A and B are shown apart, each in its own frame.
Chain A
Amino acid sequence: MIAWEMIYMLKEKGGLSYNTKMEIETMDIKSEFAERISEISGANLFKCYQCGKCSAGCPMAESMDILPNQIVRLAQLGQWDEIQNSNTPWICAACLACSVRCPRGIQIAEAIEAVRQICLRNRNSERRLGLSDEQIKELPPIAIISAYRKIAE
């Protein structure tokens, strides 16, 4: 639980008075969305302790609007809309640097693949490569096939 959430809870309980009796309780965070990601990717996002190593080593991070560690946090909190509107899943190059370096063993690249799959399966974001004849001529087959594979459900 991050700090602002705890302060919020104390305020709710009328806490933060001078003779505070602090009460700390564990709150089960449940997110259907994180569970769906788990089902598809096998990654348990609730193991994340926000060290940020995934984002630090991500070669594509500077082009992402939400960093990989932030995607994990948002998924834990069930913030599907923010994730859905982010460019991050579509910038990820699936190089697996995050997955192999995560100290908690979370398969982050796999989780991002699951986000792509959920978007594609929900049919709420139409994805086309829209390559011109010129691009098809220029690109090697390996680039075209892999790029198509990433927008195929």
Chain B
Amino acid sequence: MTKLLYYPGCTLKADAQHFEESAMCALKELGFELQELERWNCCGTVFSLATDNTMFHLAPLRNLLRTREEGGDKLFTLCSMCYNTLKRANKLFNEDPEKNDKVRKAMYEEAIAYDGKTQTLHLLSLLRDEVGFDTLKNKIGKGLNGIKLAPYYGCMLLRPDGLGVDNMEHPRVFEDLIRAMGAEAADFPFRAECCGSYQTAQQPEIVAERTRLIIGSARKCGADAVAVSCPLCAFNLDQRQAIAARLHSDFELMPVLYITECLCLALGIEFKEPWKAFHYAPVDAVIRKMEKKA
């Protein structure tokens, strides 16, 4: 069993508990144990885009420092926004001497000084680079044969260039994973188009229109469900279907599953009953179909 130091972030402990649980179940089957950081704080969710707001980088950097304190050099995350914020803050720390100096001075009370050496590892990179899709495919076998999943990357897994888990405009890691699970990946034009992100708080109707477009496109591509890896994308694409359905009488609900839930089903792990309650669009039918295949 390989131990991974794990940073959950805020939402994995609240609205996305089923993401965390299903990840733990699936990764255990693949030989990984998630060991949660003893001390961690919110990463701030969004990387500060203003160059003079250095203070906002302290939160993600502190989590990277905790990893070093616990003797690790890799920090594993499930959430795309945590991944993005942690990774960008580390790049800034290592490449911008002026900001490096500022944040070091602000963290003078820490037990050890941060050395910039914590690497952030996302679930998709782990499965591709450390498990390997061929190994995964051999382990899964027929898996989800006959199921078509629409891979939804969103923004923060891919952008900005060079920081994402894959090529920014032509990513394939999600598709490759879906194929390794035995399922078919829908060629889905909205896979890297923003869901509206945080605007869901103040402009839920705009986000619901995005949801309608994205879900509608997945449906046209013949997908059985949309697969996601970000808790905010999941909320927007799933819960905001309620508003989309209210505004458009022809809108049909579509299940939105975390990629780890799909992976559990592909590995023959039971889809736990309490996970269903976190979903808005009913998932029963698609889960039955997936269970029968696996």
Contacts and interface: CB of A to CB of B under 8 A. Distances in A.
Interface of A: 39-42, 59-60, 63, 91, 93-97, 99-100, 107, 109-110, 113-114, 117, 129, 131, 135, 138-147, 149-150
Given A95-B197, A100-B168, A147-B202, A140 B51 contact: no
The binding surface of chain A is classed by DSSP as helix
Interface residues of B, number: 40
Given A100-B159, A145-B42, A146-B81, A91 B203 contact: yes
A142 B201 CA distance: 10
Nearest to B52: A40
A145 B79 CA distance: 14
A59 B50 contact: no
B131 interface: no
B10 A142 contact: yes
Contact of B231 (A93, A131, A140, A149): A140
Nearest to A135: B201
Question: Which 9 A-B pairs rank lowest in CB-CB distance, beginning with the nearest?
Answer: A95-B194, A147-B201, A146-B198, A140-B15, A113-B49, A141-B10, A93-B197, A95-B155, A96-B159
B196 interface: yes
Nearest to A128: B202
Contacts of B50: 40-41, 110, 113-114, 117
Interface string B1-36: 000000001110011100000000000000000000
6 contacts: A96-B160, A97-B193, A113-B49, A135-B201, A139-B200, A146-B46
A39 B253 CA distance: 46
Contacts of A113: 48-50
Given A41-B50, A113-B50, A99 B201 contact: no
B49 A139 contact: no
Contacts of A117: 50, 53
A44 B203 CA distance: 30
A110 B200 CA distance: 20
B10 to A, nearest CB: 4
Given A40-B51, A97-B159, A113-B49, A150 B198 contact: yes
Nearest to B81: A142
A33 to B, nearest CB: 16
A140 B235 contact: yes
B206 interface: yes
B201 A59 contact: no
A41 B51 contact: yes
B203 to A, nearest CB: 7
B230 to A, nearest CB: 8
A131 B200 CA distance: 11
A117 B56 CA distance: 14
A149 B51 contact: no
Contacts of B155: 95-97
B203 A63 contact: yes
